[in-house]
Amino acid sequence: MNTLEIILPLRNPTVVLDQTAKSLAAQHDRRFSILISDNYSTKGREFIDGAVAEFQKAGITVRRVQPPVELGRVEHWNWAHHQAETEWLKPVFAGDWLDLEFVAKLRAGITAHPACRYVFSPYVLHRSNTEPQTVTSVWAGKFREPAEMENHVLSLGMQFGPPSAAAYERTAFVAAGGYPTPLPICADSLLFCALAARFGVLGLAEPLCHFNIHDARFSTNLGEKRKDTFRENITYLFMLGYHAWTRRVAFSKPGFARLLARETRSYLSKK
């Protein structure tokens, strides 16, 4: 792993950005740079200035960029990723934070597994008024080959956590077509499942990322978009299943049917 850039796509950030910035500035391994992409914020610019100052104080290289025109949410993620020119990319969203050894553990994992192009970490979920909840994954703790993951993602679906828990090689991200913009709710699900099935995945052993469902976050209102979420889930799972069919991948058809049934049951049970 030669170079790493941490990408912060921002749009009207709030005070929650402070904790994100502090966690990055305090990383034990500081061999990374930071790219802040501001998608035409109309408020909260003082928090962006504060984050830049925090990084500069910590001696971390930071760049500020802005798309030529205002972009949609997922479009902005893609654009920001394409502005990075390092070998590895790591998105972090405002409000999320990383434990101090995240970068060090990421670097150690990639060095130990040179074939690895996609890494995720278990994470701690923070919601207002509830206790933090650690979310681990069946794939945490080791590197799994693409042949194994091709089958697994079609039986278990998205088990990789949010984008802030992920890091990937730039080539892999670009080749995979980035975050699919027509699926704004499940864009990360399709990308991460596709990356794992294509390149394999390294799951870090410990939860090193904190996923904060704060008030300004898109995910906060997902409960009201259950129908949209279900529709997108079914679409991305069919896309994964279809892609495996085109390549004659031997995957468990009953396992895939059970996965679709679980999604449907989950949607109907809360309807």
Partner 1 sequence: MSPALEIIVPLRNPGAELAPTVASLVSQTDHDFSVLLCDNFLATGFEPVAAAQKQIAAAGIAVRCVKPPFELRRIEHWNWAHAESRAEWLKPLPSGGALKPAYVQQLKQRISERPQAQLVRCGLESEPASGGAQAPPARASLTPAEFLEYFPARVEWIAGSVNMAYRRTAWLAAGGYCPQLPGCASLNLNIILALHHGLENVPETLAIPATDQPISLNASDITRVNLPLELWLVLRQARNFCLAAKLPWTKKRLLPAGIVAGMGRRKRRIYGR
Residues of this chain that bind partner 1 (CB under 8 A): 67-69, 71-72, 75-76, 78-79, 82, 171, 174-184, 190, 194, 198, 228, 231-232, 235, 238-240, 242-243, 245-248
Q: How far is the CB of 193 from partner 1 (least distance, A)?
A: 10
In the complex, minimum distance from the CB of residue 75 to partner 1, in angstroms, rounded to a whole number: 4
199 or 211: CB nearest partner 1: 199
| Least Å from the CB of residue 214 to partner 1 | 22
Of 110, 183, 111, 150, nearest to 251 (Cα)? 150
Cβ neighbours of residue 263 closer than 8 Å, sequence gap 6 or more: 157, 230, 233, 234, 237
Of the candidates 210, 146, 203, the one whose C-alpha atom is nearest the C-alpha of residue 176 is: 146
Of residues 116 and 204, the one with the C-beta less far from partner 1: 116
Interatomic CA distance for residues 4 and 33, integer angstroms = 7
CB of 245 to partner 1, least distance (A): 8
Tell me how far, at minimum, the Cβ of 37 lies from partner 1, in Å. 12
For partner 1, the closer of residues 170 and 210 by Cβ is 170
Residues 39, 11: Cα–Cα separation, whole Å: 5
Nearer to partner 1, 41 or 136 (CB): 41
Query: Toward partner 1, which CB reaches closer, 67 or 141?
Result: 67
